[in-house]
Structure 1
Amino acid sequence: MSRRNRAGKDLARVLEWLLNRDVPDSEIGSALNLAKATYSRRKDADDFPNYAELSALAESLGLSARVLQIAFGWRGEDELILLDLAEMRQYMEQAGSAMLGNEGVRRYIDSREPDTPWASAILQMSAVPAPAN
């Protein structure tokens, strides 16, 4: 079985959410420069998608490689702090409600500490005004 993101979605489902359209296997295979039969076998491998495949897909589809690599466990969640606002939106979009289950995110939202980049990005995305100091 292929790797899943934290919300349990496979790669095709994540790409559909991020791109807001159907992403056929042929498009994913093409982005990875794999023949149809090769991609058909590869997509069920335990290590699919791997770090390099996520980079290739991100480049081909105009997404953030870092977001996909964090989502599929090839980078640690501690790297979320490195995401810019557009990447943070992609991360939250692909994760859906599982993102809000992240203890660190919930803590920042609850405390509304705008002095941290992570909290500021969340507040900015959610259009919640930061409290005055």
Structure 2
Amino acid sequence: MNYWLVKTEPETYSWDDFVTLGRDHWDGVRNYAARKHMKDMKVDDLVLFYHSNKGKDVVGIAKVVKEFYQDPTTEDDRWVVVDLEPVKKLQRGVTLQEIKEDERLKDIALVKLQRLSVQPVPREAFHIIIEKSEK
């Protein structure tokens, strides 16, 4: 199993919007590195759902329920989507500041490559963030 993080602006598409839909494709990615990560996602991989700009915190866990396919929002066949389903809302959001302050998380993409909208998360880092949400 692999672990990932996807970023969204909550004013545009929030965790609550995602939960209301129950399942959705992750679209609009127009970055080659993020696209590569989406192509690497497998069914049942777990995904941290991160609110960017406003909030700047990890708020929930999703899972991959369908591997990559053509992005239906464009005719350009270079771009793909994956389908995600919500798993659970975190007990509390884990802020970017908290993540940056934890020495164990200093090398994750969220800290080093903040603009990347889809990124891998090491297994240990995933579990550290979940533990932080439970405190």
Tell me if both proteins adopt one fold, taking TM over 0.5 as the criterion. no
Structure number with the higher strand fraction is: 2
Q: Looking at secondary structure, tell me which structure has more helix per residue.
A: 1
Which of the pair has the greater relative contact order for Cα pairs under 8 Å at 6+ separation?
2
**Bigger radius of gyration, 1 or 2?**
1
